[in-house]
Amino acid sequence: KVLFVHQYLGAMGGAETDILLSARQLRQRGHDLSLAYATTSGRNEESWREAFPECYELAAGEGPGGASELLDRSGPDVIYFHSLPGLEVLEELLRSGIPLVRRVHDHRMYCMRGCKYNYFTRAVCNRPTSLRCLVPCLAFIGRNPGGRLPVKWVSYTAQLRELRLNRQCHRLLVYSQDQKGHLVRNGFDSAQG
């Protein structure tokens, strides 16, 4: 039994396409699937509910709707984690001891800017997350589309915490050797991915 964990229920972009295709293939192979999600997208949700017979809206923290209760209800053999905006749920899932596989869709896990290039020079960055992300990169200033201000604060300590938590995953699935290289430079075991 596989529990998928993702921010959305429904279509949004490439990550969601990957999730839906993976789910359909796993169901064809006889796996029982469920999905824990934070919000609905309002797009193509019926296809997702067909792929995932059990869907759970996930609330951060212990108690009703929390990850611990969800694991008790769904009883997965493995957790297939994609993304969520906060780290609390990931932390709870890792504490459960259930094998957790993380799909790495982009650079956000190891790049405060999320894109692995220098904003000013447009040069690709191959450095691990470090204080050099703050100076000269200024990665602590992030874009804030839809916010009251056009920029927001990006926390360096939160980035380090995310890396530390993700190093505890049993496996990481990546799209390329380049992405795997970024993870290894950030202290991940090459055997994880």
Secondary structure string (H, E, C) spanning 21-62: HHHHHHHHCCCCEEEEEEEECCCCHHHHHHHCCEEEECCCCC
Which single residue is written with the structure tokens 């915490």?
161
Which single residue is written with the structure tokens 């780290």?
87
**Residue (of 37, 35, 40, 33) closest to 11 by Cα position:** 40
Non-local (6+) Cβ contacts of 179 within 8 A are 104, 107
What's the pLDDT score for residue 60?
A: 53
pTM of the model: 0.90
Q: Could you read off the pLDDT of 42-75 as tens digits, one per residue?
A: 999 999 999 999 999 987 554 445 788 899 999 9
Taking the C-alpha atoms of residue 67 and residue 121, their distance in angstroms, rounded to an integer, is 42
Segments of the chain with pLDDT less than 70:
60-65
Taking the C-alpha atoms of residue 44 and residue 181, their distance in angstroms, rounded to an integer, is 35
What's the pLDDT score for residue 119?
A: 78
Alpha helices in the chain (DSSP H): 14-28, 45-51, 67-74, 88-95, 156-166, 177-185
Taking the C-alpha atoms of residue 141 and residue 19, their distance in angstroms, rounded to an integer, is 31
Which single residue is written with the structure tokens 């995953």?
169
> How many C-beta atoms lie closer than 10 Å to residue 138's C-beta?
15
